[in-house]
Structure 1
């Protein structure tokens, strides 16, 4: 049955080990794998190139992969450099918390001792941030820029010299592929149907190169057809394709205690087996490629490199970065000299400070002062107690701070937004009802005091 439904079977581990050493195996790389090199730490790039060196004679890329790499290289380099500006901006947000949010609390007037502790906290955080910025500057200098010499491209030029597939023979070949691709995408036939939305993006739906017109939404299908044509060669019996495209028009995924990636889609495997004479087809992500290369070739690969390669790095639009992405990228550039645990501890201490609605508090006190038989000493005690009552949604605030602690993107603007939202909700409450609750609380404590 296995021979009949070969597309549903992944390569067994012992067979895969032999494929790495087989002279009739080719290692084929997707564009994203090459572009991701610009976002990796230096050690990760070195480990990747060491693996390539070990399988040098087996390397190959489709023409379309090389073309897309050349087209997008500079924009990726530019956007990777933007990351360092974003890191700087997020660090400034942490510092602005003290210059903005904490100053609003008027701690110096109301709680002098707490104000002293807050100043110490600010100095400690600023010191940690200063050390962190030094590590950011170091890694920034390690990254290529658009006008600098590109050593990464130099290495790729050497590795893939005479190992690039042929250019499409003519425009008719591409036009026929576009027509076929439209039908495939309607029927959800992989690969590439997840890219059909690129046709609706006015920014970059198509391009011209060397006299040929390319539609971007069919990029995966073009490289797939070029890969299949290569697989028809008599010298090729095994194809190992490395891609960091995690979409479900390449991989079969299933939900079982979380999303699990099983392997290449059966439709892909069935098609390449049907259209060529290869015996084995396998797919890797870059991190899996490094991991298996380490074990199958006895090449020294750092565990940090495998982890680094598992983090998404290609950035098409820096404006679309999420705090989580910034955090992941920042973590990949951090040095061991920064005490990140200390910074998180300091931020957790900041979490213990709560917002208090001073206007509402003054209004309560003014109304309470009109009570004739009020015990002023008791009132001061009650006022101090009241000052510790949160008018902020503490659970949401703590949740936000905990998430901020896991990244270095403390978003003070978001805190202000949540605070202002809370104030608007409070203003909608009737003043009488609010005062009644305060008065009941005061009388209850007053009675207890008299009983004592």
Structure 2
């Protein structure tokens, strides 16, 4: 083939290529299963099984390695999400402790009954969340999704032609020239060559290829003004055409599934659109800090440390952070200052949750800053 032709090559639309091309799956598609509803996971698994039955599915060995390495972290994050919810489940103390002047009022008895019902509902909800967290923990030992991936991977693995050291060396040379894909990961401490190793595996194929990936980095795709993927980078299309004479296309998980099954529900479409892929912020442009998420992280960390503190002091609290705080304070393990600050942080988070505060309010910034101080204080105590 004359080299100049690659510059003018027009690939077929991905909608046409999807009918008979080799389909290659990226790591983020597999990891996203731990963020999706079960119905969405089943849609994806059914689609992959259909492609495999047609002998068109390929999974790079690098994808399997990355999936294996990151899967425990995905499960752990879901458990942390539940722990954050559990930490917010606060029982209401008797109203007389807050407003003693109400003693003897006729309406107090009715209010106290409502409070008791509320506390029972909170306990039931918290107990349910704890059971769900325990169910997630079981995924480390009994994961049906992992079993299914094992079945799909059988006979579909793309093994690199070169060893890992040679591929990493080649990746570094490409990074210097800003050749896609992967140069956006050049600064990563771990697995900076991962995208290129996947690409090198794709280049081994001799058929048209559709790459299913949620990766939106600009060393893989062009983006619209909303950061949505449009199509594969021209450099990738040209390199694949020069090496194989065939077409390469990039497609998002949502477009992949809806192309195969246009009747999927809105819930599935929502999942396929909204899951989070882990990638670095591009071109040193920092995303704005979201106070709500930052505060949740602080509270989640506080909750874990409070649990550790209770275990160290043989205090049984059964996941109730308010009861834990009370017990730690009554045992003089934490000071009245720390107790009051953590109690106020939890109240600020609750007010933020129900809309009484906005993310830009001073109280939220204070809670984040003070929460980090409390974290450091507890860590010092645990290490003493």
TM-score, reference length from structure 2: 0.62
1:386 corresponds to which residue? none
- Out of 148, 164, 170, the position equivalent to 2:157 is 164
Q: CA deviation at 1:79?
A: 3.0
2:173 corresponds to which residue? 183
Residues 213-267 of structure 1, C-alpha deviation per residue, up to 9 Å, x if partnerless?
Answer: xxx111101110111112xx2xx1x211111222222221243xx4443222222
- Out of 22, 26, 47, the position equivalent to 1:51 is 47
Q: Distance in 1 between matches of 2:177 and 2:121?
A: 55
Q: Provide the aligned C-alpha RMSD in A.
A: 4.6
Q: Specify every segment of 5 or more residues in structure 1 that has no aligned partner in the other structure, as ranges.
A: 200-204, 206-215, 328-399, 422-452
Q: Distance in 1 between matches of 2:243 and 2:271?
A: 36
Q: Distance in 2 between matches of 1:326 and 1:44?
A: 30
Q: Distance in 2 between matches of 1:121 and 1:190?
A: 62
- Out of 239, 242, 251, the position equivalent to 1:274 is 242
Q: CA deviation at 1:131?
A: 6.9
Q: CA deviation at 1:60?
A: 0.5
Does 2:211 match 1:218? Answer: no
Residues 137-187 of structure 1, C-alpha deviation per residue, up to 9 Å, x if partnerless?
Answer: 67546646354222112111222211101245435xx33x33332232233
Instruction: Say if 1:261 and 1:218 are closer, same or farther in 2 by CA, change over 3 A.
Output: same
1:309 corresponds to which residue? 272
Q: Specify every segment of 5 or more residues in structure 2 that has no aligned partner in the other structure, as ranges.
A: 280-288, 297-348, 371-384
Residues 72-126 of structure 1, C-alpha deviation per residue, up to 9 Å, x if partnerless?
Answer: 333333333232212222x33xx47x66xx999x66659x999999989977876
1:369 corresponds to which residue? none
Instruction: Say if 1:179 and 1:162 are closer, same or farther in 2 by CA, change over 3 A.
Output: same
Residues 299-355 of structure 1, C-alpha deviation per residue, up to 9 Å, x if partnerless?
Answer: x53321221122234689xxx99745999xxxxxxxxxxxxxxxxxxxxxxxxxxxx
Q: Distance in 2 between matches of 1:122 and 1:411?
A: 32
CA contact (8 A) 2:216 2:227 kept: no
CA contact (8 A) 1:76 1:315 kept: no
TM-score, reference length from structure 1: 0.54
Aligned length: 301
Residues 403-435 of structure 1, C-alpha deviation per residue, up to 9 Å, x if partnerless?
Answer: 63479x9999945937x99xxxxxxxxxxxxxx
Does 2:99 match 1:150? Answer: no
CA contact (8 A) 2:24 2:58 kept: yes
Q: Distance in 1 between matches of 2:211 and 2:365?
A: 48
CA contact (8 A) 1:78 1:146 kept: no
Does 2:252 match 1:285? Answer: yes
Q: CA deviation at 1:69?
A: 2.0
